[in-house]
Homo-oligomer: A and B are copies of this chain.
Amino acid sequence: MPKTSQAAGLHRASLDKLHDLDAALELMYYGWRGMTLEADDYLARQGLSRPHHRILYVVARRPDIAIGALIEILGISKQALNRPLGLLLERKLLTSKRSPEQHRSKLLRLTVAGQRIEQKASDHERKVMRAAFDRAGASGAAAWMAVMGAIADSN
């Protein structure tokens, strides 16, 4: 099931560059894949995947978040959230309780098991980033973040 990482995506540096920025496009693709590959593998072994991780990641950083706010942050429809969220609740990685005074909203929170999985999955990603930053040095890391910030804010 885990594909050989060689065939997982564009084969690095095997394509002619038609434009000077083609290398950057391919690096973005490979970089995204490279950062998420191990984490996705780990998640798959837990019977989970990227959307589940996204939910866990956000809830870990916003305990007692309401479902509506989570939908906003994830940028998906509430219907799309429904199934992965249901699985996480069923697997008891998340708890949902109604707030006493705000009885309309359900508040989400990670269980200890959910915290463990969120942390392990994110750790795989952070490990990749840490290794790359170590090789690039502090100034390289800062430059990387500046460029990524510019790209992220370009819309």
Please provide the chain A residues from 48 to 98 with a CB less than 8 Å away from any CB of chain B in the complex. 54, 57-58, 60-62, 72-75
Number of residues from A at the complex interface, CB < 8 A:
69
* Minimal Cβ-Cβ distance residue in B for A76: B7
Please report the C-alpha to C-alpha distance between residue A3 and residue B152 in the assembled complex, in whole angstroms.
11
Within the complex, which residue of B21, B38, B136, B154 is in contact with A126, where a contact is CB–CB below 8 Å?
B21
Contact with B along A18-55 (1 / 0, CB 8 A): 11011111011011111101100000000000000010
Check A143 against B140 for contact (C-beta < 8 Å): yes
- The winner among A8, A131, A135 for most chain B CB atoms within 10 A is A135
How many copies of this kind of chain does the complex include? Answer: 2
Please report the C-alpha to C-alpha distance between residue A131 and residue B148 in the assembled complex, in whole angstroms.
11
Chain A positions within 8 Å of B, measured between CB atoms, are 1-3, 5-12, 14-19, 21-25, 27-28, 30-35, 37-38, 54, 57-58, 60-62, 72-75, 122, 125-126, 128-133, 135-136, 139-141, 143-155
